[in-house]
Amino acid sequence: MRIISYNVNGIRAAIKKGFLDWLATNPTDIICLQETKATEADVDVKALEALGFEHHWFSANKKGYSGVAIFSKIKPTAIKKGNGFELSDFEGRVIEMQLGEIKIINAYFPSGTSGDERQSYKYQWLKEMQTYVDEMKSKNPKLILCGDFNIAHEAIDIHDPKGNKNTTGFLPEERAWMTQFLNSGWVDTFRHFHKEQHRYSWWSQRFPSVRLNNKGWRIDYITVTSTLQDQLVDADIFPDVKHSDHCPVYLELKD
């Protein structure tokens, strides 16, 4: 089973940049999208269906904001929209797919870039999500949690750790949350296979040279519970796929 997580920064904009043509190359069986900024009605879903994908959407109440979706060539056992926390669900941040005994949770973690209020909400959301996945893991031990976490975990995950030590996304409290999350029984699948530096999944759009010079952050993850560790085959990041300011991250699991 091949899984991709991808913050498309607007599915309609990504489609204009060749997203569907890329999907036609068969890069994955399941693709989890974040920041769709659209509803199902806004997209030509027949083109997706022609490529063999079922599609499931959970959009924000606010038009053109946030939103998650899962496109799958494997028929799900069940789909669940939302995690039961009011503001998170209002903003369309979590959608889940059950595939037999494996559950995939696709999440768009909040960013704190717009100020203290949103940074406070980010911490609240992290606490809520930890509670949610802990409870889920007790019922369903084979979990995959993927998405845009909006956190660069370690110095290796960001091009300028010293210069960004006081920047949201690399704050000590955020990094500490990530550490305790992984220590609670989760595997960062990319780092399981790759220990090398300069591997990133997001680049600021403020200056075109940032991506050209690979001055990025690794903030997109596919994590799995330790019960799935023996099924890991490969994980990677695809920086040459350019429909967004993020790029896809990849995981392959064996049956």
Active site residues: 108, 148
Under a CB-based contact definition with an 8 Å cutoff, are residues 2 and 117 in contact?
Answer: no
Tokens representing 137? 């893991």
Helices and strands, number each (H, E), in the chain: 8, 12
CA–CA separation, 149 and 222 (whole Å):
10
CA dihedral sign of residues 237, 244, 45, 100: positive
CA–CA separation, 49 and 200 (whole Å):
31
Chain centre distance of CA 211: 19
Under a CB-based contact definition with an 8 Å cutoff, are residues 131 and 143 in contact?
Answer: no
Of 131, 98, 141, 136, which Cα lies nearest the Cα of 228? Answer: 141
By DSSP bridging, strand 30-34 and strand 2-7 are parallel
CA–CA separation, 165 and 175 (whole Å):
10
Placement of tokens 């939302």 in the chain: 82
CB atoms within 10 A of CB 90: 13
